[in-house]
Structure 1
Amino acid sequence: MFVQRKFDTMQNNEISVDILRGAIELETTAHGVLPHRLPAWARLQCPDPQLAMVEAQPSGVRLVFRSEATVIELDTLRTRRVYVGAPPRPDGIYDLLVDGALIAQASVAGGNVLNIDMSAGTMKTEAGPVGTLRFTGLPARAKNIEIWLPHNETTEIVALRTDAPIEPIPVHGRKVWLHHGSSISHGSDAASPTTTWPALAASLSGSELVNLGLGGSALLDPFVARVMRDTPADMISLKIGINLINTDLMRLRAFGPAVHGFIDTLREGHPDTPLLIISPILCPIHEDTPGPSLIDMSGLSLGQLRFRAAGNPAERAAGKLTLNMIRDELQRIVKQRAVDDPNLSYLDGRELYGATDAGELPLPDNLHPDAATHRRIGERFMRLAFKKQGWGWTR
């Protein structure tokens, strides 16, 4: 599906917020526009290159419009990641939906390459060309069209061409679900952008997803809380814990007040919005062993990317966090606050993926679920959150 031809009958369409959903901000670049999931003021508050990389990866971001077009061309400039010493990552996938049904998938060629040496802690970018996707044979009738951008590749949108006019689609009463979490919520190792667990749960519930899953960066940052405070939403969920251990960022003494502060900020803008606090899914290496998480160099030498827990269980006495400690503290905080906040609730992440699941579908790299597990988590979240919590706007 990669071509360079252009057709005289194709017309250019403006890329604007009217047809782009799931992004917080659009940046004009030398090539086109770059969707961001954090605004510029928030990005300026943290120069972390990991955060800069993941917030610009458009997890949950999609072009949405109505048209009679039978042909669509999309020019994009991707930035794909290459981890030194690890197996090549698969190309990012674009999912094309017509009237809610997935009808085509494709990848784009060309683009930049971000070389990441995890052992040295360095990143280097090699520039590459713009690529073109072409979808053909779409039904010759008025229809709703969604193009979900790759959840794991930074994607500058250069041009959108169609062989018929397009128009924005009003939300029409669909409720907005605002979610923040780690790389698991971002979609690491999901098969495609519509099959990350939040995208699946959103589809099953009929909600409009704004996904602030930020790989390696769900760290209770105050600027993320302020972004969420100021983002319209009908339901909010916060999945927190694993990144705090991965990075060995804080101790138990700091964790509780940081959670309270994050919730306080959310409640400034969303005083009565249903708010679900989700603890980590099962991750055997960190259930009772603190972080940080480090690359298992023995696996890397065999071309396998795996992680190991580098902490010592004895360090729990000094307040170093484990997943079980985080779950206990989150449950305690929610129970305490729910007395005065009836719209606040808690979900143990092991209900989404627990010990039985780990036996059947183990985490391939010891941290991230595979594609089948994303589907299981998404389906369970639909049942445990949208239905059980009484968010009665499901399909």
Structure 2
Amino acid sequence: MKAKILLVFIIGTFHWIFSPVLNAQNEERHETVAIYEVDTKGFTISSTEMSNLLRTELEKLNQLDVMDRYDMNYLLQKKDGHIENCYGKICLIELGKILKVDNMLSGSVQLLDDVIIVSLKLIDVGRAQVAKQEVIEFLNLKHQIRPMLQLTLKKMFALDIDENLMSKLTQKNDYETAVNFPQAQRLNLNGPRMGVTIVSGDGAKVLKEKEEFGGYDGSPVMFHFGYQFEIKYLNQGNFQALVEFIPLVTGLDQGQFIPSISILNGLRNSRMGLEFAFGPNLFVNKVADGYFDNQGTWHLRKEWLATNNEPNPYPIESRTDSRGEIKLQSTFIFAIGKTFKSGKLNIPLNAFFAPGKKASHRFGLSMGFNLSK
């Protein structure tokens, strides 16, 4: 009698000590799931290959214990062999009972016109009902099937998704389409710029004028150099819309320092390397108030005041003058360009035109270089 009591006490103590561990192990057990076939239309890959892709992506999520396809095929061969066109709920429930799994995952991936529709459903075999279902329309990007399946599964199981990737695969006019169009090589022309600026009209006369008369005793053809920064805000197919920031310094070859910055909005064809752009240009210039006499000679305003007591009969105007004050001025630039390629080396060549008063226009050529990533 005492031996029986002692045995019961030992068994009870063992159960009391180890039952939390056993319960924890049971709680950690994931439900089982089998993926038989995914219906595919409009793709070169077969239904079996699509099912294998889906199985791999589901295993990565670690939400369910996914039955190995070889085990599944072995169990089916022991029964009735291969079952074809098993996509409906009734067929999948019966198949789940044969495989002795908790859930069956199936669905379809179909190409319809310009969209790919991924539809997945998780069927609870025991309850004979659809437990989860998700349908997402993607862009016609066949090369991105794997991330499409991944995103659809994560949405189904209410997991965090990459919203940026989802946008690229579902929105036509997404800002970055390297995912959408990997076959279209993107041009990124950030890099140094150098070239010549030519000034015409009244501006050219000032540059060539002697310094004592407000000129620069130089040439209307000046060297410039700087750097181009660009931001692409819209990609579609082979075209890119972008904003370019181009700070330049002009005139160092003639002892001048003329800083400027252009902010251009442009459109580029990445395949042909052609582009055009336009936008404001801000630059620093020395400007003075003065007048032209009857002989067409330029004088500063203060010259009349210093030698005459009478009112100045000549109209006062402002123009570029080396004796003037430094001011920030603006104009508008139009530019076109072509990018030449040699291996991974990009060589952009651009021509620009900036209209000005009294035919004081600026135009010129600029070139640069960078390496494709």
Q: TM-score, normalised by structure 2?
A: 0.23
Select the structure that is richer in strand. 2
Structure 1 or 2, whichever has the larger Rg, is 2
